Every structure is written in C-alpha cells, then in structure tokens.
C-alpha cells in the first residue's frame, strides 16, 4: 500500500507503510513467536490470519481542527494544528465515502473546532463506524451544549447526504483531556444501535460499545475461539472483559453450547450484548442460558469450565491470574493485543499449558496485532 500522507510526512502513524504486506505479516508472526517463546512452543502456532492491507478499518476517530467553514478531519501535528486526512486509505469504503460528506456538513453548520493549544472552541472529534450492511453510526463530540442545537437542526441535511446513516449522536467531553469521548451521550435518531452482521450472528453496537476495528478479522477471531470451545465441549463458559459479547455469543451458537456468562465494566457494551443475546434466543439460535453482567472482571470469578479473557493492553494482572489459577477452569482462551503482557500473564498461570496460538492481523501497516491462545490443564 502507498499513501501520500505518509510520503509527505503529514501522517506517520502507519510505520510499515510501503513494506510488502506479506513481509509485514511474516514479521509480526515472528515477533509474536519470539515474544511468547517461553510460554508457547513452536508446535502450538497456527498460520496467521491475514487482512486486507487497505480499506479494512470499520471506524474512523477523527480529530477536528481548522476554522469554521474550513475544518480538518484527521489528527493534530506537533504544534497541535489540524492535519486533514479525509482521504485515508485504511477505512472501509462506506466510512471513507462518508468522511468528506461530514466535513462539508460541518463547514455548512459553521461549527467551531476546539483549539487544543488555546483551550477554546466546541467541536473536538467526529467518530464514524460502518457496518457490513454499509449502514453508518456518526458521533459528534462537543465540549458543551452551546453548538449542539446546530447539530440537531442539521441532522435532516446529514441524513439526506448520507442515506445509510442509522445512528447519530452528540457526545459531550467538557474536560481538557486527551480522551476521544465523554460519558454523556445524546442519541438523535430513533435507532440507538448499529447492526453488525457477522454471518453467524448480528451484534448490536451502542454508541460507546467497543468492537474490533477490523470486522473481517474479528469474525475470524471469534470463529477460531468458537472452534476451540467446540473441541473442549465445556458445560459453562465465563467471558471476561466481554465487551459486546462476541466470544461468548459465538460460543452460544454451538449445537452443544455451554451456558455463557459475560462480565464487562461498560454498561453500554453490556446493553449491546444483552440485545444480541435476546435476538439469538428469540430466533432459537441460542438455546442455553446466556447472561451478561456489568462489573469489574477482576472483582468476581464465578465457576466455569472454560474462561475467555480479552483484556485491554495492560493485560489481566496478578490478582485475576491468581483467581483463574485457583479456579476449576480446565480451559483458558486468552485474546491479547499486547504480546508482552500476554507473556507475563501466562507466566503467572503455571498450571495451564498452551496448546494452540494464532496471530490475527487486525492492524495492517503497523506493528500491532492480536494474538489468541488456548491453554488447558
């Protein structure tokens, strides 16, 4: 993949840009194997799952810069000035096509971009998520309510310009902090969730629900974990850091499905997971118990024969590792975006032996990847 932004040094986020994709993937796989060598033997590794090298991102989280009527959508440079990246080649076509339309719409509304250096202005970010059905969720992140009415009044024009717009919201982030969103969300459309058809099931994403950036590779990840659950045939499965419930819900569709309990700190994500679980029950796709609770994954560890964890980059940590180690679980499936913390946590789980490992390339053009392992005892 070639990128003019990268070549002009306007954006250097994709550090592997210009390198042949096959070389990128092979290098990531070697790095993951080396970083996990003490915990994962060579025979455990499976072939990595590749991605499209461009047009793979289902979401864009864009910093707004510039001036009213001439905004930039992209990132900030070293001087905290907006760099426009509206033609970035990483985004799925439905997202890529929406970004210039959104820029024009924002210009027409004369929204005032937030100036980070001066700490003034209103419009901070625009988030765009696309579904496999090419529907869109658009979230406008404002500092306060002073320009929110312009967004509300302009919604009809945006819907006319983006006919596949399903969910639109205003998110409020009043603090001067390096965050992409705040806690307060105002939904402007009748629809509150974006349906993500993943083939085997449809997830329902709320505005503040986390979902993997690369839809096709996420499906591969969930299917791999489902196959491992099928081989182990546990009666019960505990899905920690479950997000919108992808791992647990895919397992719930097995012919001989375990009972599933998912635990997640985000109330919005739990609501999304429950929505999908209810749909699976109504359709008869999931016939066993499927439940999701809002809570800290480390605060409770109900008994289960199989534990699935998908923590943030910091990993699981000593306390939860100790709880898993002392539990009755016979199988652990651990999905990680950080091989360093994965290696640390596996070292803290000495009674589990890794039988399978695989890299999933969620993030082409960068050194980042997802690694999932199955460990048993």
Q: Are residues 245 and 348 in the same domain?
A: yes
pLDDT digits (tens, 9 = 90+) for 308-345: 999 999 999 999 999 999 999 999 999 999 999 999 99
Q: Are residues 245 and 170 in the same domain?
A: no
Domain end point (choices 191, 222, 238): 191
Taken as a whole, the chain contains a residue count of 377
pLDDT band at 273 (very low <50, low <70, confident <90, very high): very high
Residue 111 counted as domain residue: yes
List phi, psi (to 5°) of 105: -65, -45
Q: Are residues 158 and 238 in the same domain?
A: no
Average pLDDT of the chain is 96
Residue 202 counted as domain residue: no
Closest to 126 (Cα-Cα) out of 92, 160, 75? 75
Residue 221 counted as domain residue: yes
Residue 1 counted as domain residue: no
Position 38 scores a pLDDT of: 96
Q: Is the pLDDT of residue 288 over 90?
A: no
Q: Are residues 46 and 65 in the same domain?
A: no
- Asked which of 64-73, 157-166, 280-289 is least confident by mean pLDDT, the reply is 280-289
pLDDT digits (tens, 9 = 90+) for 225-266: 999 999 999 999 999 999 999 999 999 999 999 999 999 999
**Domain range enclosing 290:** 18-53+214-376
- Active-site positions read 337
Separation in Å, CA 308 to CA 119, 244, 342: 42, 14, 13
- Structural contact between residues 128 and 60, judged by C-beta atoms closer than 8 angstroms: yes
Where b means 16+ CB within 10 Å and e means fewer, 259-298 reads bbbbbbebebbbbbbbbbbebbeeeeebebebebebeebb
Give CA–CA dist 375/377, Å, rounded.
7
- Number of domains observed in the structure of the chain: 2
């Amino acid at each position: 993949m070639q990128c003019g932004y990268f070549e002009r040094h306007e954006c250097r986020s994709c550090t592997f840009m210009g390198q042949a994709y096959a070389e990128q993937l092979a290098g990531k796989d070697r790095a993951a194997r080396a970083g996990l060598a003490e915990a994962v033997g060579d025979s455990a590794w499976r072939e990595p799952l590749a991605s499209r090298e461009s047009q793979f991102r289902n979401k864009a989280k864009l910093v707004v810069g510039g001036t009213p009527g001439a905004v930039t959508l992209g990132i900030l440079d070293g001087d905290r000035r907006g760099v426009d990246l509206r033609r970035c080649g990483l985004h799925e076509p439905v997202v890529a096509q929406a970004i210039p339309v959104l820029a024009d719409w924002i210009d027409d509304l004369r929204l005032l971009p937030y100036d980070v250096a001066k700490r003034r202005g209103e419009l901070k970010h625009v988030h765009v998520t696309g579904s496999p059905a090419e529907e869109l969720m658009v979230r406008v992140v404002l500092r306060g309510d002073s320009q929110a009415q312009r967004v509300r009044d302009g919604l009809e024009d945006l819907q006319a310009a983006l006919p596949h717009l399903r969910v639109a919201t205003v998110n409020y982030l009043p603090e001067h902090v390096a965050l992409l969103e705040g806690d307060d969300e105002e939904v402007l459309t009748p629809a509150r969730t974006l349906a993500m058809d993943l083939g085997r099931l449809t997830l329902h994403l709320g505005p503040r629900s986390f979902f993997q950036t690369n839809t096709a590779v996420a499906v591969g990840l969930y299917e791999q974990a489902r196959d491992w659950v099928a081989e182990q045939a546990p009666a019960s499965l505990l899905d920690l850091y479950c997000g919108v419930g992808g791992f647990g819900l895919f397992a719930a569709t097995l012919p001989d499905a375990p009972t599933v309990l998912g635990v997640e700190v985000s109330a919005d994500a739990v609501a999304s997971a429950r929505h999908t679980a209810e749909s699976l029950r109504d359709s008869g796709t999931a016939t066993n118990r499927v439940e999701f609770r809002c809570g800290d994954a480390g605060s409770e560890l109900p008994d289960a024969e199989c534990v699935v964890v998908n923590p943030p980059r910091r990993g699981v940590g000593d306390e939860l590792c100790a709880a898993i180690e002392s539990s009755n679980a016979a199988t652990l499936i651990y999905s990680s975006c950080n091989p360093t913390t994965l290696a640390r946590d596996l070292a803290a789980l000495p009674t589990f032996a890794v039988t399978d490992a695989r890299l999933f390339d969620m993030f082409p053009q960068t050194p980042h990847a997802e690694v999932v392992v199955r460990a048993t005892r």
